Amino acid sequence: MIRVLLADDHALVRAGIRSLLNGMDEVEVVAEASSGEEAIELAASSRPDVVLMDIAMKGITGLEAAARMRIRHPEARVVILSMHSGEEYVLQALRAGAAGYLLKDAATGELELALRSVMRGESWLSPAVSRQVVEGYVQRPGGEQAPELLTARQREVLRLVASGKSTKEIAFLLNLSVKTVETHRAQIMDRLGIRDVAGLVRYALRTGLVPPDG
C-alpha cells in the first residue's frame, strides 16, 4: 500500500486528486494539508510514503516545504505538482530534494506511474518537463551535467548504447533479457524526448556519460 499525503491550498483540487488516488489499487490518501507548514506537521503523524505537494501555496512554497521535509522526514518521497514546466522551477525542485515533478495537466495514468516510480527509488519528471530541462542543459557551453533524469540502470544502458553495443551485447553484459533492455531503451528515449540512437549518443557525450572518444 502506497500511503499518500496530499498538499494543496485549493480544496476542490485536493478533492479531484484524492478521487483519482482512491481509484488506484494499493494507494491510500492518509492525510490532506492546505499549506506547506501543515504538510510538514502531518507527515510526522501520518507517516506517508509519498507527499504530493503543490508548488504554489499560501505561507511557505511547496519547494521550501520539500526542502524541510527532506530534513525532518527523509523517508517521505516528495512529488511536486505544478502548472510550470520551466527549467528553473524543475531544477529548484530537484535541488530541494523532490523525487518527482508532475505537471497538473498530465494524463491521469501519469500520476500513478509517478507514484510507483518514486516508490521504487526512481525519479519522475513529466515528459514535457524532461525535454525542456535536457534541451536547456545541452544548449549550454561547457558540457554541463544534466540533472538525474534517469535511473542508475537506465544510465548504464544508455552508456552502453552510446558506446556502440548492440541490444544483445547489453543484455549479456548486464545479465538482462533482450526484452528488458529494449524496454529500458524505450523508456530512456521517452524520458529524454529523443527518438533515435544518434540523439542518445549526442546526449551521452554532452552530459559526460561517455568520453568524446567513445
Alpha-carbon distance of 41 to 44, in angstroms, equals 6
* Residue 47 Ramachandran class (φ > 0 left, ψ -120 to 50 alpha, else beta): left
Which amino acid belongs to residue 124?
W
pLDDT tens, position by position, 3-32: 999 999 999 999 999 999 999 999 999 999
pLDDT tens, position by position, 82-112: 988 777 788 788 888 888 899 988 888 889 9
102 near 130, Cβ under 8 Å?
no
201 near 133, Cβ under 8 Å?
no
Q: 2-131: what CATH class? A: alpha beta
User: What pLDDT band is residue 204 in, cutting at 50, 70 and 90?
Assistant: confident
pLDDT reading at 76 higher than 70 = yes
Alpha-carbon distance of 200 to 161, in angstroms, equals 8
State residue 212's pLDDT score. Answer: 61
Extents of the domains making up the chain: 2-131, 150-206
State residue 144's pLDDT score. Answer: 43
Return the percentage of the chain with pLDDT > 90, whole number: 42
CATH number of 150-206: 1.10.10.10
The length of the chain is 214
Which amino acid belongs to residue 156?
E
State residue 136's pLDDT score. Answer: 53
